[in-house]
Amino acid sequence: MSVFVDNLKNDIRSDFERRLRQDIYSNKLHGGDRLNSESHFMRRYHITRYQVRKVIGTLEREGLLRSVRGSGTYIIPVEERGLKSEVQQQKIRSRQILFLYFTNEMSEELLNRAEIYDPIFNGLSKILHHKGYNFLFAKVDESMQPPPCMKNKDIGGIVFLGNPGKEFYKQFMAALECVGINSYNPALDCSFVVEDDFNRSFQAVEYLYELGHRHIGFFSDCSQRHLGARRYMGFLNAITYFGLPLNPEWIVNFQQQDFKRCTSPWSNIPDYTKELKPALNASQKISAIVCIDDPRALAVKTALEKLGQTIPEDISIVGGYSYRQIFGDFTSICGNLENVCAEAACVLIDTLEKKTDCIRGRTIMIRPQLSVGDSTAAYADNSCNDMNKE
């Protein structure tokens, strides 16, 4: 029992240390801010004063915190962390990695959700910290202005999410080693690590096929975005591979005009009954729909229920997510975002440290995984099966 209790205490202390370090690196706690009291952390995390002090001591040795006798413990500003000379300054800059995200790919609101932020932070930090690298978070909004750390050349490399565009990349990023995540752009001369969106839809069709479904449709309201296009191609490839019929009436694939609908959590679910009616009125009955992600799966489920369908008894639905589900308990394909970020950190370090087997310009795909929920059910239609055999 004592071993179990000790392990539990260590887990709680580790959670406190991870969250405190995460808040510092993500600038939720700014340079110069004073930490809350030890008593505050004791109450919040249910840990002892000794455990609080041990974590603070660890972060002090990392150069993130400074204790001032009689005053408190303060966050050390990035520009002051361990900088004593120009030589030391340059050395620290070379071991400082920037996570840069572009709001043209993901809104700040969506990035800050735990389901997205945590796997990005965890995946990068577990590799970078282990290798002795520090990292920062920054964004580029519609103005396409780089953050100060890029202008001041305070970083040694970049992991980025989103589309910097060729001109921005050439002007501000090309001189540094860069690795993109989930945002492949062949016009940029750098490495990429991405969720295998093609395989994501392929797996969804394969699973439905194994359940007995033969009339499978597709739903996307982001047809012009790279992830939507890749997931649609994966769907088409699977339909061909398994010898299934492809009925255009079962395909709903268009571009949502409101960009925020593509990137932000919805305050209200869009009504797609009009778009889905043709699939229900088709001459051959549709039995399942592959959606590009869980938010669309929720919208499809809501629309189908308005049209008198029951999920999954009448129609099965497969969605997708990057790390942890935000909506419902759908059968979904998980893109393993944490593993994507960890691999991106490994690729960047290999390039920075000039590993002999490192090839700049790699594109690495991380295989997604199936997560079975309550939105799919086995389907038996003898007429469909007979037709497929023929």
Per-residue pLDDT of the chain (390 residues; tens, 9 = 90+): 443 344 445 555 677 887 888 788 777 788 888 999 989 989 888 889 999 999 998 888 877 898 888 888 999 887 676 544 444 445 555 678 999 999 887 778 778 777 888 899 889 988 988 888 888 888 899 899 998 888 888 888 999 999 899 999 999 999 999 999 988 888 898 999 999 999 999 999 999 999 999 999 999 998 887 788 899 999 999 999 999 999 999 999 998 876 555 555 567 888 999 999 999 999 999 999 999 999 899 999 999 999 999 999 999 999 998 877 666 789 999 999 999 999 999 999 988 887 655 667 789 999 999 999 999 999 876 444 444 444
Distance CA(271)–CA(69), nearest Å, equals 60
Beta bridge partners of 101: 139, 161
Length of the chain: 390
Does residue 297 contact residue 375 with C-beta atoms inside 8 Å? yes
- Tell me if residue 148 falls in helix, strand or coil: helix
Residue 242 DSSP code: T
Which of 256, 265, 198 shows the shortest CA–CA distance to 224? 256
The domains spanning 86-196+338-366 and 197-336+370-389 adopt the same CATH topology: yes
349 Cβ contact partners less than 8 Å away, ≥ 6 residues apart: 127, 128, 131, 133
Could you please state the CATH topology (level 3) that the domain comprising 2-80 is classified under. Answer: Arc Repressor Mutant, subunit A (1.10.10)
Does residue 112 contact residue 103 with C-beta atoms inside 8 Å? no
DSSP 311-363: TTTT-EEEEEESSS-SSTT-EEEE--HHHHHHHHHHHHHHHHTT-TT--TT-E
Instruction: Give pLDDT, residue 17.
Output: 84
Instruction: Give pLDDT, residue 10.
Output: 54
Instruction: Give pLDDT, residue 386.
Output: 43
Predicted model pTM? 0.74
User: Which superfamily is assigned to 86-196+338-366 in CATH?
Assistant: Response regulator (3.40.50.2300)
Beta bridge partners of 317: 289
Distance CA(157)–CA(176), nearest Å, equals 6
What value, to the nearest 5°, has the Cα angle with vertex 52 and ends 55 and 34? 85
Q: Where are the domains of the chain?
A: 2-80, 86-196+338-366, 197-336+370-389
Instruction: Give pLDDT, residue 16.
Output: 85
Which residue, chain included where needed, has tokens 């455990």? 51
Could you please state the CATH topology (level 3) that the domain comprising 197-336+370-389 is classified under. Answer: Rossmann fold (3.40.50)
Which of 293, 292, 291, 335 shows the shortest CA–CA distance to 316? 291
Burial class (CB in 10 A: 0-12, 13-18, 19+), 97: buried
